[in-house]
Amino acid sequence: MAIQDAIGMAEKKTSGEVRVYIESKCSYINAADRAAELFLQLEMHKTAARNGVLFYLAIKDRQIAIWGDQGIHEKLGTAFWQLQVDRIISAFQAKDPTLGICLAIQEIGAALHTHFPYEGDKDKNELSDELSFGR
């Protein structure tokens, strides 16, 4: 629940959308390729401002990727996503992965707030905040 709560808190300050997808094994060599595929399957590219962000974790394979849609990626760039991945990896190594994921969600939520602030009555939750699970 901590991760879902972090998503809800992050999204209260932005029109951006955050999702987390967890599976045991990655069917691709590169986790970013799998994240991109899931991003489309989950229809995250259909947000009005193209500001969705997907956290992808393959637990047994120890792979992590963060995929940001065009609108937010243009603002933040690859280095920002990699910094968040590195923070999550550090948290896994410290045996506190939930905290690492929550902190990265907060950081991304702050970045989304900067570039896509909450729009009051116009804003709606375009994507589910629930964690998604694969195989």
CA gap 60, 25 in Å, rounded: 6
Please report, for the chain, the start and end positions of each structural domain, with discontinuous segments joined by +: 2-133
Q: Hey, what are 107's tokens?
A: 């950081």
Sign of CA dihedral 64, 70, 71, 76: positive
- If one compares 47 and 82, the residue with the highest pLDDT of the two is 82
Provide the pLDDT for residue 115: 94
Q: Taking 70 as the threshold, does the pLDDT of residue 123 lie above it?
A: no
User: Which amino acid is located at 52 in the chain?
Assistant: G
C-alpha 49/C-alpha 35 separation (Å) is 19
Instruction: Tell me what the mean pLDDT of segment 29-47 comes to.
Output: 93
pLDDT, one tens digit per residue, over 49-76 is 899 999 999 999 989 999 999 999 999 9
Overall average pLDDT of the 38-48 stretch: 92
- Cβ count near 64 (within 10 Å): 24
CB neighbours of residue 31 within 10 Å? 20
CATH annotation of 2-133: 3.10.310.50
Share of the chain above pLDDT 70, in %: 90
